Each structure stands twice: as structure tokens, then as C-alpha cells.
Structure 1
Amino acid sequence: MGEFQHGLFGCFDNCGICIITYFVPCLTAGKNAEAVGESCILYGCLSILGPIGIWSRAKIRGQIRDSKGIEGSFINDCVMHWFCAICSLVQEAQEVEGGSAQAESMARE
């Protein structure tokens, strides 16, 4: 089993994702969900609903961990999103992005 490419507090490894997530965390949550085959809009909206948001973000984090072979548990994912939601979202976004240094366009085709 592996680990995330970037640490939990490696938010500034990609300042673009960090800034977007700080101001519009539901966008990053939706993009993370979309990266694992879930609905971008549904999980983006769920992410802002208190305890439901913690559950939905932890569920997506678990799917990202499973797809990348990263060890962890659902309880740990919930704790991460309870105490460090922005850092967790950025870490997940960096993981699904694959470490590429190029910025993505926010426009949809």
C-alpha cells in the first residue's frame, strides 16, 4: 500500500488548486468526485451540507485511495475532512491530477 504523493499540508505544492479550493471548495470537491466517476454537481453540492458534506467528501477520498492503492480508513477520511477539509480536498485534487505542473482550464467543452 502506498501514500499520497503530497502530504496533507502540501497545499502550496500547487497554488492554483489551493486558491480555488480556499474560495470555492465545492468546485474542487465536485472535480474530485468526477475524477472517480461520480457526479460533479451532486458531490459539489453535497460537500457544503455540514455532516452530509463530511460524509460525501470522505466517501470520495476513500474512492481515490482505493483507486491509487493508498492505505487508510473511512473514519480517518471523516476526521481529515472534519478538521482539515481544505487541505484534504487539495491533497486529493493533487493526487487525481497526477502531479502535472500544468494548470487546467476551468472551461468545459
Structure 2
Amino acid sequence: MADWSHGLCSCCEDCGLCIQTYFCPCVTAGQNAEAADVGGCCLCGLAFFCPIAGCFFTAQSRKNTRQMKNIKGSFLGDLCYTMCCPLCVLVQTARELKSPTPQQIERA
């Protein structure tokens, strides 16, 4: 099992993504959900404005990302992080989704 490539509080290392997420979190939430195969970009982006649905879809995106990248953790932990630091979770998940998987690195 691996750890996250990017820390939860290292949001500002990708300024463009950080600004996008701060001013329009629904866009990042939708992009993450689509990339993590949680649901449609628009549906999950709009769900971000409903606190319960937004937390669920964001935590689900984080869980699917963890599973794709073989990162240790649990859905309960994902949900707790999402409720405490939703914008940091969105940025961390987006950055992880953009990072190559270990299998992609081995092939290169």
C-alpha cells in the first residue's frame, strides 16, 4: 500500500488548480468525480452545493482514487477529511488523479 503523492495541505503547489478550486469548487469536484468514475461531471459538480451529497460524492471520489492508486485508507477517513477540509481534499484528489500510476511509470 502506498501513501498519497501530494500532501493534504500542499494545495498551493499547483496554484492554478488551487485558485480554480477556491473560486469554483464545483468544477474540480465534477472533474474529480468523472476521472475517478464516480458519476457524471455535471451531476457531481452540482451536488457539491448540497452539503450531504457534496460530501458523499467528494469522499467517494477520494475513495475511488485511493483504490486506483493503491493508497491506504478507509471511506470513513475519506469522509472525515472531506467534512473538515473539503477544498484541500478536492485539490489533493485532483493532483493524485493527474499523477501517473506506478504501472505507468514502469512502462515508460
Cα deviation, 1:66-105, whole Å, max 9, x if unaligned, reads: 0000011111111111110000100001001117xxxxxx
Q: Match of 2:55, as an amino acid? A: I
In structure 2, what is the Cα distance between the partners aligned to 1:68 and 1:45?
Answer: 26
- CA distance in 2: counterparts of 1:92 and 1:77, whole angstroms: 11
**What is the 5 A alignment of 1:1-109?**
1-37=1-37, 38-98=39-99
- For residues 13 and 2 of structure 1, the distance between their equivalents in structure 2, rounded to whole angstroms, comes to 21
| Deviates further, 30-39 or 62-71 | 30-39
Shift in Å, 1:52 = 1.5
Calculate the TM-score normalised by the size of structure 1. 0.86
Q: Which deviates more from structure 2 when the two are superposed, residues 40-49 or residues 13-22?
A: 40-49
Unaligned stretches of 5+ residues in structure 1: 100-109
Shift of the alpha carbon at 1:36?
Answer: 1.9
TM-score, normalised via structure 2 length: 0.87
Aligned-residue Cα RMSD (Å) equals: 1.1
Regions of 4+ moved over 2 Å: none
Aligned identity (percent) is 41
Structure number with the bigger relative contact order (C-alpha 8 A, sep ≥ 6) is 1
Q: Report the secondary structure of 1:42's partner residue.
A: helix
